[in-house]
Structure 1
Amino acid sequence: MNTIVYSHASSMQQFAVAKLHKSIRLAGEDAEAIGYEEWQASGKKARIIIAVVEKGQAAPSTGDNSCVAITRIDDAVLPDGFEIRRVEGTTYVLAVNEAGAMYGVLELAERLELSGELEKVAEEVINARFSFRAVKFNLPWSSYRKNDCFRLQTDTVRDLSFWAKFLDMMAVNRYNVLTFWNLHPFTSMIRPVNFPLACPFTEEELQEWRHYWTTLFRMAKERGIATYMIGWNIFVSESFREHYDPKAISDETFYHYGDSYSTEQIKQYTRECVTQLINEYPDLTGIGTSLGERMNDMTPEERQSWINDVYFEGMRQAERRVKFIHRAPFSVDPSVTRQSIEANCCAAAEEVWLEVKFNWSHAYSSEKLLLTHGGSNGMNGYWNPEPTHYGITWMIRNEDFFTLRWAQPEFIRKHIAENGQSYVGGYYIGSECMIPALDYSHKQDSEHKNWDYLFEKNWLYYMLWGRLLYHPGVSDKVFEHALNKRHRSAIGKSLLAAYSAVCKMPMALASLYSFTWDFTLYAEGFMSTDEAEFDEGASFISLQDLMERCSFNPEYVSVADFTANQLAGVHSSGITPLELASTLEKDASAGLDLLAGMPSGTPELCCEKADIEAWAYLNLYFAAKLRAATAYSIYRHNGDEEQYQIALKYIQAPYAAAYWERIVDITESHYTAHPLMHLGKTLFSWRLYLPYVQADIKHILERQ
């Protein structure tokens, strides 16, 4: 019998010990978990001791209630870090805080499963690479975007059983921050004292909401997860406008983007909401604001002054200090924001994080920072010189793949290595246009589907980001083991390699094809809506689009520039369209070959393999279309008939056209047409774009 000694009073240790208990049983042994006092009274020898200790203090000793060993934590262990140490047959998990102890026990459980024996688990000190490891979660009510993909999520997100699973996933994967985003969060949380009619709910309804939020914040805290409520700027509730500002502009023009609309009453109302929210929810860690929306006509100084007068002042008036997330303003003048934070943070906030969108809305483009929201000129003023009153946090927005599973650990590792400067506190991962709750894209009656929620389908995506943000040195063997365990088959190494090969496609497309905001790229749909949002026909990236669009990443040569260089007899410096096409083809072949060598497996494994196959054919489609676009571009400039025939060859079957038809067949085996923010009321499917695949062929046949 393995005796595990831990603190009964710690919810985080309880959570992790339950996982460890299962791992010990998987190793073929039995275990009991007891608290310190019970253990001390029992006289039993402890096999595993979990302890939170201060530097220089001794951990609990083991063996017949006598002090056999004095075990002190390594001085290198930091908050959220841990040490695994073995002393006279007892394995210690030592940490300086409860979160570190939880992560240490989870690590021990995982390593035990990998090694099969406790004694084979190596002694080690591991610290968190980033102190801020966050999920961005947009709420479906008072949402920034309006679409069925949000409305469909309301009931699921209101269900605390969903949150229990989501928070468990976060804790296991070492995330420690959950950020909630919507336009005006206060409506469902408080009844403002001086503006009671701004809350539209009855007292009974508001109590239900209060129970929901109070429970959710407590559940997160029990798992070591900080919570932040983040709103946009000059927004008020519909009830506020109805009862306190009847002359306010209509809902249609009061949407998220536009000029400012603020009065002294609105500032007072929002300021009091900030204070009251902090006071009424003691387990809420912090608040934040997205500086820029509804402020188009304001100068940087006016925008920051509004935040100072409303948010910072509201925080000052609260009964406790909280942490604050300050989105970097879209109109760049770092000195204004820096001065404001430096002047206000100590008095108003316990800690300040400055959030910066990495490569605007499409972080899956390059591991290098090439663009931020609104453009990058001057943005480095936020971290040069290095800040002392706040830390930079990168927003890794995913607006490029919502349906197909994605896994590419090397991209994440490179990203962290490239952007982990001393002033960087951490990362957020998440989306503006997708909520990972109800899975409405998968066929509900399919034998593939053995998960309840979308994040469970995408479990590997969350595992990769969370584990690597905590410890970039995590071996791929950990992820391979997780795949083996999930599918009850030794296919993890091949499956992860297949994912890694084909899932480079979104980064390749975003590197070659320039973008800005959310809808300007959607890689898995081969879409770019630009300003013509919700236009089905304009959204597909056509042959002409590829020939005209400049590249985003300067390391990549656009079709237009490559053509000009070829005609001028100039060597193209960088990754050319034809070189990229070759890489895409090699990646697709590697992924398909790995799939061919795997057993058919369970229905869920078939589902994962289908996603990998779909990515492989997206690689092949992109490659063939690049070859066609390059050849046709040269033909249009010099009339070279050989180039025309090459273009015609690659745009038709058995190349591009056949590849897209294969994508349709694969995806229709387990997905259904579903809402997509980028298309408005039009439901997304890959079949939707078959006519536009044919239009490319017509474009060349008619020599347009």
Structure 2
Amino acid sequence: MSRVRSAISWMVVLLVLGVSFCYAAAPRIVAPEGSANTPIAFGVGDLKNAIGKLQVDVVVRVVTAGQAKTPAAKQALKVLSPKPESFAIARVGREIAIVGRDQVGAMYGCFELAERADLAGRSALDIKKTIAQSPTVEFRAVNPFLTLPYKEDDKNWWFLQEDYWKGYLDQLARARINWIDLHGMYDIKTTGFPNIYPYFIISEKFPDVGVEPEIARRNLAMLNKVIQMAKARGIKFAIMSYSAGWNGQGLRKPTSQATPENLAAYTREVVRKMIEQCPGLDMIGFRIGESGQKEDFYRESYIPAIAQAGRKIALYTRTWGARKEQILLIGKQFPNRFFIEIKYNGEQFGPPYIVAGGRMKNWRDYSYQQYYSYPRVYKIIYQLRANGTHRVFPWGNPGLAARANECSLLAGSIGLCVEPIDAYYPKYDFRHRDDSPNKWYKWQYERDWLWYHVWGRTAYDPSTAKRDEIWVRMFEKRFGKEVARELYNAMKWASMIVPDAYTAYSLGPDHRNHAPELEWGGDVKAWSEGQPFDTQNVMSPKEYADFLVSGGLTARATPLRMASYLAEEARRTREYVEQARKKVRRPTAEFNDLTTELTALSYLGDYYSHKLFAACVYALMNATSDVSLELPIRIELKSAVAAWRNLAKIGDEHYKPFVDTLRMHTEEFTWSKEGEKLAQDLKVLDDTVEQIKASGKTGKAPPIAIDVGVRGPVVVSCQSELSGPGSQPNTKKLTVRAAFENPAKVDKVFLRTKPFPSDKGDWTPSPMTKQGSVWVGEADVDPEGLMWCIEAYGVDGIGSMWPDFRKETPYRYVAPWEATK
């Protein structure tokens, strides 16, 4: 009783002294009336979960720009960007206002405040300075393929599963991805691309074309449901059909003949019906190349169909296999709503920038060709077909994604769509062994959560790539605080392996040319004669050997430098994985799965590193007839075999044989089976040594030089100016001025230039002149534009390229312009 009296006495004293006791209420969130099932409602749901338990007496008001009436909303409105999907957050007194330029912007503002509260707690709501963000990349799309059933029956087809779409769309919205660019159909077994319309639309003119009518109605109903679910999360929907025929898995055999006239009449009808029967569809399109039809077929079918449908809808196509003059004829009929998709470095994700010159010049349709040159009646979207390189292992490096996203804005293009890791594969977990303790997810996108976040978040705001606390927190919520940073670092390092491997050694730009995660890549002779993907910035093994023998100059990265990068990436990945394994308290199946897959990927990095080193020394042995190099080659090849065996061992324990029909042409792939080919390496080496000895040639190879940690001249400032006219008619003059660190040690500098069209001309060096402490170069630029960079050599003969391809897009450019007549 005395304790109670004492407590009451103290409370009386505190009250006399003016100390009050109050418990702040939870924040109250106010959304506009009628916002149910809208992007605002979705964003508010996340915000409530994040701040609902915080004891802060504030009102959070979520509105769009036209509803900004309160003091806090008006404060936010002052800094709100005019761009769609922008937002601003301000606080005045007890009110916080989240103001979106539109509903999607308001949703993103909710995500932003929720994330800040998750990271900082109550202090995140004490907003002193208005927060404002707007999208850097306008078009931020994921590019899934509508794969047909594979080992599942029709009723269990992934496309029909609502739980698939709910989780997928939730993830995309939070990743700030604003488009689904759905291409189809795709048959995993045959690698064919059947026409999409027979699976969804019933034709009156050709009633026996397609699936059974009840199946088509079912599929169309699901498509409309998915589109509406996407709309409620701020995601627009586009569909592109890859062919115009009537054949495909599950389709009936029609009585009508597939004549050009019948196919055109059918296409006009079903395209019109798709637009009419999918009122939420935002964009519709077609592939020309490999579709079996020319441009005029689509011009004479899609354009009338859109006109007959009676509503405005955007139209898009791919430049693959198309002709620009025909594309222009289509685009002129759709001003401001015609888009073209261009392949971003073919069908692989190696360098995080659009490669210019070198091999790309001859790959034509695999890059942008002359589509930037005027006239232009379209907006450009890049199709980053990452499923060529990334087919199996998890991936997520914010820095690389940010660089690729920013480069997608080249010369006024509006963004990119990215193929996910399951684009050409089943959407469910089809690789794990059925008895694997690491089996934890149902849908592939659940494992690849980071993939979607790094692509979407760094497209909306590239600076997010440098905010490690955001990414670490994502890992913390899944795996625990004690291992979050280690797993994030392991993922970052591991995610550099495949891009660097493909940059250093590429069998070609197509999905069907190269699967870097799966194949050995050929014997050591093939590697020695092979090429990097970006020959402007990386040397081949043969070029490296010739460089050593001739004693010439190079500013490009040698394959040995690329090998050293890969070795470090593999080592760092394993180090961080082991640190995480030692620290983890309760390893989950997801934790075990991730660390196992990253370890396997690290061994792939080791394989590429050793094979590149062996290829360089093998090329040098061939160039010099120095058979004493046999031993280091043999050592490297044996190390490559050991690395592959480590990869295969994990693969056998972790995965069952799985499908890869696009490149590996099997439904039973294993690394063990592929690894049987590695025995050819030592046989090729033995045969080569015997041939050199039999020839009677002898030689002494120069010392092997590894350009790791070696610095050529460093550019500290560079200014460019475009003036006119140039020395040739209809040109302008580009003047470049570069200043270097330690200018007295700079010996030679060249301005390297290339015509802007990807399929026109290659890099040409022109000497720059020294004017005081600055080097100056000039070049004529015609209306097609120009790319340029700087190549410099020190007095010690060591070279460098600026910009550095390891840090940024390795060129600057003058964009094409419309010439006056």
TM-score by length of 1: 0.84
Is 1:284 the counterpart of 2:286? The answer is no
- 1:366 is displaced (CA, Å) by 4.4
Matches of 1:550 and 1:151 in 2, distance apart?
A: 44
Matches of 2:126 and 2:522 in 1, distance apart?
A: 53
Is 1:206 the counterpart of 2:216? The answer is yes
Contact 2:344 2:382 in 1 (8 A): no
Q: 1:240 to 1:165 in 2, by over 3 A?
A: same
Equivalent position SS for 2:298:
helix
Matches of 1:464 and 1:664 in 2, distance apart?
A: 29
Aligned residue number for residue 599 of structure 2: 613
1:213-266 alpha-carbon deviations (Å, 9 max, x no partner): 221111111111111121024323566862210xx5xxxxxxxxxxxxx52221
Aligned residue number for residue 242 of structure 2: 232
Stretch deviating more after TM superposition (615-624 or 148-157): 148-157
- 1:436 is displaced (CA, Å) by 6.3
Matches of 1:19 and 1:138 in 2, distance apart?
A: 29
Matches of 1:275 and 1:178 in 2, distance apart?
A: 21
> What does residue range 581-596 of structure 1 map to in structure 2 within 5 Å?
581-596=563-578
Q: One-letter code of the match for 1:267?
A: A
Please tell me whether Structure 1 or Structure 2 has the larger radius of gyration of its CA atoms.
Answer: 2
Q: 1:591 to 1:386 in 2, by over 3 A?
A: farther
Matches of 2:328 and 2:469 in 1, distance apart?
A: 43
Matches of 1:268 and 1:232 in 2, distance apart?
A: 17
Equivalent position SS for 1:360:
coil
Aligned residue number for residue 32 of structure 2: 7
Aligned residue number for residue 770 of structure 2: none
1:484-539 alpha-carbon deviations (Å, 9 max, x no partner): 11112243333222222232222222222231211211111235xxxxxxxxxxxx
- 1:90 is displaced (CA, Å) by 1.8
2:202 to 184, 191, 212: 191
Aligned residue number for residue 574 of structure 1: 556
1:93-137 alpha-carbon deviations (Å, 9 max, x no partner): 101211111111011111111111233556311011122111111
Is 1:647 the counterpart of 2:640? The answer is no
1:437-482 alpha-carbon deviations (Å, 9 max, x no partner): 2010123443323322111101111110011111111123211110
Q: 1:578 to 1:58 in 2, by over 3 A?
A: closer
Aligned residue number for residue 522 of structure 1: 515
Aligned residue number for residue 764 of structure 2: none
- 1:553 is displaced (CA, Å) by 0.6
Matches of 1:383 and 1:189 in 2, distance apart?
A: 35
Q: One-letter code of the match for 2:382?
A: T
Aligned residue number for residue 424 of structure 1: 413
Matches of 2:529 and 2:180 in 1, distance apart?
A: 41
Matches of 1:152 and 1:622 in 2, distance apart?
A: 41
Is 1:658 the counterpart of 2:642? The answer is yes
Aligned residue number for residue 734 of structure 2: none
> What does residue range 500-511 of structure 1 map to in structure 2 within 5 Å?
500-511=492-503
Aligned residue number for residue 188 of structure 2: none
Matches of 1:165 and 1:544 in 2, distance apart?
A: 47
Q: 1:359 to 1:566 in 2, by over 3 A?
A: same
Equivalent position SS for 1:399:
coil
Q: 1:420 to 1:372 in 2, by over 3 A?
A: farther
Equivalent position SS for 1:439:
coil
Aligned residue number for residue 131 of structure 2: 124
Contact 1:59 1:72 in 2 (8 A): no
Aligned residue number for residue 543 of structure 1: 524
Q: One-letter code of the match for 1:615?
A: L
Is 1:114 the counterpart of 2:119? The answer is yes
- 1:6 is displaced (CA, Å) by 0.9
- 1:78 is displaced (CA, Å) by 2.2
Q: One-letter code of the match for 2:666?
A: K
Stretch deviating more after TM superposition (596-605 or 371-380): 371-380
Q: 1:694 to 1:687 in 2, by over 3 A?
A: same
- 1:151 is displaced (CA, Å) by 8.5
Aligned residue number for residue 244 of structure 1: 256
Contact 1:502 1:615 in 2 (8 A): yes
2:231 to 221, 231, 245: 221
> What does residue range 81-480 of structure 1 map to in structure 2 within 5 Å?
81-117=86-122, 118-120=124-126, 123-141=130-148, 155-182=157-184, 183-202=194-213, 204-237=214-247, 242-245=254-257, 248=258, 263-295=260-292, 303-331=294-322, 333-341=323-331, 343-346=332-335, 351-370=337-356, 371=360, 375=364, 379-385=368-374, 387=376, 389-421=378-410, 423-430=412-419, 434-435=424-425, 437-474=427-464, 475-480=467-472
> What does residue range 621-700 of structure 1 map to in structure 2 within 5 Å?
621-652=607-638, 655-677=639-661, 678-700=663-685
Contact 2:76 2:99 in 1 (8 A): no
Equivalent position SS for 1:193:
coil
1:513-571 alpha-carbon deviations (Å, 9 max, x no partner): 231211211111235xxxxxxxxxxxx43222211212221211111222233333334
Contact 2:544 2:559 in 1 (8 A): yes
- 1:412 is displaced (CA, Å) by 1.4
Normalized per residue, which structure has more helix? 1
- 1:59 is displaced (CA, Å) by 3.0
Q: 1:399 to 1:583 in 2, by over 3 A?
A: same
Contact 2:77 2:88 in 1 (8 A): no
- 1:408 is displaced (CA, Å) by 1.8
Matches of 2:434 and 2:479 in 1, distance apart?
A: 20
Matches of 2:154 and 2:654 in 1, distance apart?
A: 20
Aligned residue number for residue 187 of structure 2: none
Contact 1:128 1:470 in 2 (8 A): yes
2:62 to 36, 45, 50: 50
Normalized per residue, which structure has more strand? 2
Query: What number of residue pairs does the alignment pair up?
Result: 636
Equivalent position SS for 1:441:
coil
1:29 to 47, 54, 68: 54
- 1:572 is displaced (CA, Å) by 4.2
1:648-689 alpha-carbon deviations (Å, 9 max, x no partner): 11111xx22221121123333422221112223341222122
- 1:75 is displaced (CA, Å) by 4.5
Q: 1:476 to 1:265 in 2, by over 3 A?
A: same
Q: 1:586 to 1:120 in 2, by over 3 A?
A: farther
Contact 1:361 1:399 in 2 (8 A): yes
Matches of 1:132 and 1:151 in 2, distance apart?
A: 35
In the alignment, structure 1 segments of 5+ residues that lack a partner are 32-44, 63-67, 249-261, 528-539
Contact 1:334 1:379 in 2 (8 A): no
The root-mean-square deviation of aligned C-alpha atoms, in Å, is: 2.8
Contact 1:484 1:491 in 2 (8 A): yes
In the alignment, structure 2 segments of 5+ residues that lack a partner are 1-25, 185-193, 690-821
Contact 1:334 1:378 in 2 (8 A): no
Contact 1:413 1:468 in 2 (8 A): yes
Equivalent position SS for 1:443:
coil
- 1:700 is displaced (CA, Å) by 2.3
Stretch deviating more after TM superposition (174-183 or 69-78): 69-78
Contact 1:352 1:391 in 2 (8 A): no
Q: One-letter code of the match for 1:564?
A: D
Q: 1:377 to 1:542 in 2, by over 3 A?
A: closer
